[in-house]
A = this chain, B = another copy of it.
Amino acid sequence: MEYEISDKLKSVHGSAIREIFELLKKGGIISFAGGMPATLTLPAKQIDGILQNLVSKYGVVECLQYESTFGKALLLEQLKKFLPEYKGINAELQNMIILSGGQQGIEFMCKTFVNKGDVVLVENPTYLSTLQIVQTYEGKAVGVNSNNDGLDLADLEEKIKTHKPKFLYVVPTFGNPTGGTYTAENRQKIAEITAKYEVMILEDDPYSEIRFEGKAVPSVKCFDKIENVVYLASFSKIIAPAMRIAVAVANPAIIGRFNISKQSTDVCSSSISQLVVAEFLKNNLSEHLKNIIPIYKEKRDQMVKCIDKYFPKSFKYQSPHGGLYVWGYFDDDRDLLAAFKDVVNLGVAYLPGAHFFPDGSGKNTMRLNFSNATLEQIEQGIKAIGEYFS
């Protein structure tokens, strides 16, 4: 039979990044396209240790029965320590809900607040999955001008007035895709401007622990005076993606709405994943970060060094102070979307930056992920891309 797809899904064609990921799994390609943490940094031994006799240790109800939709008490208790210590955020139980990955928080935010035709303000460029999720709720993503230091505040205020957006989505620390980090002053102003117009913010913060240099900057949530900020922390990058565990921090009224949305989808997040994250936060995280940050820094250094060596001078970028990505553009107007397949045929993949722009611009931009390639692969891959574009 013919399937009649709903209005909200019929124009959505899947995440480019996920399709590229499936393509590249066929092997033999050096990929800077994904956003995966370095496989060698994933804490295999620690997690095997946690899994050892897990059910005997915690008991059958804790490990195997249905769990509260809000999340496991054991994990929420750990988060009450983790959030102030690592994120500078205080959260009580009523302010938190466990998510099956940070992206579920973006989806719940759209479900809770976006009606057909509503505007969501985003950075320009922004995380591409957010663009897809806004689209599945028939909203419209509008970009706010931004650079590596933060949002253009005049443009933000202007676009709030023009579009009356439902919320502003930001990744202020080691942003995806740009790797940029907003200044503390920019964050404070964003909090003030959105508070003035009572516009909500979704602050997505999966990368901030992976800092190579410079001082931590307070989150936008730290400047939240009217409880308009919903904050997402994820454990995909600092523990392991396959856990699918994150947390949303917000006013209890919003957490209650997210709870209703979660009742309607996965009911609760995997208990074993929640217990692994709880144990890891308690016993392993601080040591683990000390071990992995130098590895990421070395990869970042290598990528930057190789770009300087092999890329034409028309490629402009800033070295990120943390996170997983180098972002840049050619100032001579090349089409990196069109060149993508040619470059993949050379055995290397970048991510065309155009996917991150709500208006489809940015054809001359690219995102390069340095976390999941070896130093040798980084040299070999960046050399191949550089030579192709020279």
Contacts and interface: CB of A to CB of B under 8 A. Distances in A.
A339 interface: no
Given A44-B63, A64-B47, A15 B263 contact: yes
Given A60-B39, A65-B39, A103-B264, A243 B270 contact: yes
A114 B8 CA distance: 9
A51 interface: yes
A56 B64 contact: no
A271 interface: yes
Interface in A249-264: 251, 253-254, 256-257, 259-261, 263-264
A374 interface: no
A69 interface: yes
Given A111-B136, A260-B14, A273-B272, A56 B48 contact: yes
B13 A42 contact: no
A42 B60 contact: yes
Nearest to A12: B260
Each complex incorporates copies of this chain amounting to 2
B14 A103 contact: no
A321 interface: no
A236 to B, nearest CB: 8
Nearest to A13: B260
B226 A1 contact: yes
A333 interface: no
A100 interface: yes
Given A113-B6, A136-B261, A267 B254 contact: no
Contact of A53 (B48, B54, B67, B115): B48
Contacts of A25: 68
Interface in A18-55: 18, 21-22, 25, 34, 36-37, 39-40, 42-45, 47-48, 51-55
B69 A44 contact: no
Given A44-B56, A65-B240, 12 more contacts: A1-B228, A6-B112, A6-B114, A12-B260, A36-B65, A43-B64, A64-B240, A101-B267, A107-B264, A136-B261, A244-B267, A269-B270
Contacts of A359: none
B272 A51 contact: yes
Contacts of A9: 111-112, 257, 260-261
Contacts of A100: 100, 244, 265-266, 270
Interface of A: 1-9, 12-15, 18, 21-22, 25, 34, 36-37, 39-40, 42-45, 47-48, 51-56, 60-61, 63-69, 100-101, 103-104, 107, 111-115, 129, 132-133, 136, 166, 195, 198, 200, 226-228, 236, 240-244, 251, 253-254, 256-257, 259-261, 263-273, 276
Contacts of A63: 44, 47, 240, 242
A111 B6 contact: yes
A115 B6 contact: yes
Nearest to A17: B263
Residue of A51, A64, A195 ringed by the most chain B CB atoms within 10 A: A64
A264 B132 contact: yes
A61 to B, nearest CB: 6
A58 B21 CA distance: 21
Report, nearest first, the 7 A-B pairs whose CB atoms are least far apart. Answer: A242-B271, A64-B240, A270-B270, A100-B266, A51-B51, A42-B64, A48-B55
20 contacts: A1-B228, A3-B251, A5-B113, A6-B112, A7-B115, A9-B111, A12-B260, A25-B68, A39-B60, A44-B64, A47-B64, A51-B51, A51-B52, A64-B241, A66-B242, A129-B263, A136-B260, A244-B269, A270-B273, A272-B276
